[in-house]
Structure formats: structure tokens, C-alpha cells
Amino acid sequence: MLTAVARGFVVFSVLLTAVGTGTVAAAADDSDEELVLLYAGDELLLEAAENQVVHGETTLDAGIEVTVRIRSAHGADDVFLESRFTEVDEYGTFNVSFDLSDKQANTSFTISAYGGGLSSDDVDGRLEPCTDCTSSPTQMTLPPADEATVVPAVRVRQSNTARIPVTYGDASRVTLVIGGEDVGFTATVTVRDENDDGRAVIEFDTSEAGFSSSPTRSDDDVVDESQTQLSRVLDPGDYPLRLYLGSDTDGEPVDVGTLSVLETPVLTETPTTQTAEPTPKSETETPVRNQSTVLDSMSNLLGSVGALALGGALAVVGIGVLLGFFRS
């Protein structure tokens, strides 16, 4: 019985020591996983109308459920909160449709998405008056495969890989041009519909843009590709997307979009205070320490070993009490 109780005190003192020394484990964060909402400009614009579609992109696997929530901004006259559920498709994209026809135009809102253990940043938006409420909506994540299209907006962080869905229409090959002379970088890739499904996802590795001979990949056959050579990593900014039928890029594209390369946040570390090396004492020099210096040194010493001393004291007192108890 004495041994069990003594062990309990020892365990307790060890725990106190761990707390005092700050031994805490932190969960790892996988910075490669993303969940983003796609929009152009400084805010997400929707209309006070039916079938307002919100698009997103993620690294989550296909079939995982994603929730998109929209709520009126703080202080808005028209207060609302709505959520919609959807699933990630095979292209790593998702979309939900909101009926906002009963909401007041010019109302500001905040929208976000979460699912699969990830959450997006909050995106500010605004409801605009309905421009043509009598027409039927045609918005969707990807148009039918019988139309040659490129996804309207893609966002990716600098040095990460962007996924750009395209459809072939009646063509067996399409060519995607990323960027242009006005943005200082151009990449061109031609893909062939080898599985005859009318769709392809072109992956563009921004870390290899301007360096590697093959910054683009696809689930279909890559027939040809080229790019501008760069001396540094691709700059953040908006890069036009232009889709052409076949391999010829002369003339007007059949569809256009925008690739937004976002700047990667710089993580700042808390500077660590380094202890200066003690200055050697001269044999004829007598150090003078005032009362404040002595008190500061004692305070630092007590703070360093306080937790350990407390644990040890508790263990000694406990054992002493138990020994006295059994001897009596």
C-alpha cells in the first residue's frame, strides 16, 4: 500500500513538472489541404434572385460533403442565415444554389464553406438587384460536355498546383493558354480526349512555371506544351485563361476564364531571447550587485525550478505522512 501511494505522489509531481516546463504536444497542420470559394474581384456578388450559384474548389476527395453557409453582415436591415449541402465532384470542385429572391438588394453578407475537416476563409459579398428575373438560370459548376468551355475562375496559392477543368465540345483536342504577354508569362497546353468523355482537368504547377519543361499535367493525353522561361517563382496575380478548339491559337478563343495566383502568407516566428555569454571577471575586480539584481536572479531561479520543487515537496511530504502513520 505504501508503494502504491508513493508512486501516486511521484506521478503527480512528474505531471506538475511537465506543466511547469511547458511540455505540450500540438496537432500537426497539413498546409497542402485547401477549401476555397471562387469569385472575381474584391467581393462575391450575387443577385437578390433565385438559383444564385456559389462555386468552390478543394483538395478533398470526390464525394465528401461540403456545407456552404451565407449570413447577413452585422448591422444589416435584412437579417438572414442559410446553409446548403453539396458534395465534391471528380474535378475537385463543388457548387451550391441559394434562393435569395426574398432578400433585400444591396445587403452585405459573409459566406464560408466547411467539410472534411477543412474550412474556407470568410468571404465578404453583396446582393445586387436582379437584372433579369424572368429568364431561367444557366449557372453551374461545369457546362455540358458538348460545349467547349473552361471553368470561369480558379484560385491557387503561390507554389501550389491549380486544377483547371475544361470540356471539349465536338472537338477531340483543345488548347488552353494561361497568361499572356501583358502579364509577363504564357503557358500553352494542348490535350486530347483519349477516353472520349468530353472532359479533362489540366493541372498547372505554379512552382514549376517558368522552370520545368512540363508544368502542366492532365488526366487526358498531353499532346503539346510550352511556356515562358522565368528567373523566379511565378508572381501572384490574375492570369487570363483562353480555350481554343484544336491546336490553333489564332483567332478568338471559344471560352475564357481567370487563374488567380494568391500570395502565400509568410509565417513569422517569435524571436528567441539568447542568453549572453558571461564576461570573464578580472582578478582585481570585485563585482557589485545591488538588491534589485539579487531579487531578479532569485525570481528567475524560482520560476525555473518552481514546478519541479513543488512536485518533489508533495512527494516527500506524502511519504513522510504515510511512514508516520504506519509506524504509529
What residue ranges do the domains of the chain occupy? 31-137, 142-264
CATH topology for 142-264 is Immunoglobulin-like (2.60.40)
**pLDDT reported for residue 249:** 94
User: E strands within the chain?
Assistant: 35-38, 44-47, 52-58, 65-72, 81-87, 93-98, 108-115, 118-119, 123-128, 148-150, 153-157, 161-168, 173-180, 185-192, 199-205, 216-218, 221-227, 237-245, 255-262
Residue ranges in the chain modelled with pLDDT below 70: 1-32, 131-144, 264-328
Q: Is the C-alpha dihedral spanning 80, 81, 86, 87 positive or negative?
A: positive
Q: Cell numbers of 318, please?
A: 506524502
pLDDT tens per residue across span 268-294:
444 544 555 555 544 444 444 444 444
CATH 2.20.130.20 assigned to 31-137: yes
**pLDDT reported for residue 148:** 92
pLDDT tens per residue across span 110-146:
999 999 999 999 999 999 887 655 433 333 345 567 8
Give the whole-angstrom CA distance, residue 158 versus residue 147: 31
**pLDDT reported for residue 159:** 79
Output the DSSP codes for 44-108: EEEESSS-EEEEEEESSPTT-EEEEEEEEPTT-SS--EEEEEEE--TTSEEEEEE--TTSPTT-E
Contact present, 209 and 185 (Cβ < 8 Å): yes
**pLDDT reported for residue 94:** 93
pTM value surpassing 0.75? no
**pLDDT reported for residue 232:** 87
Cα dihedral: 35, 40, 44, 45 (round 10): -150
Looking at residue 30, the DSSP 8-state letter turns out to be -
Domains 31-137 and 142-264 share a fold: no
**pLDDT reported for residue 75:** 87
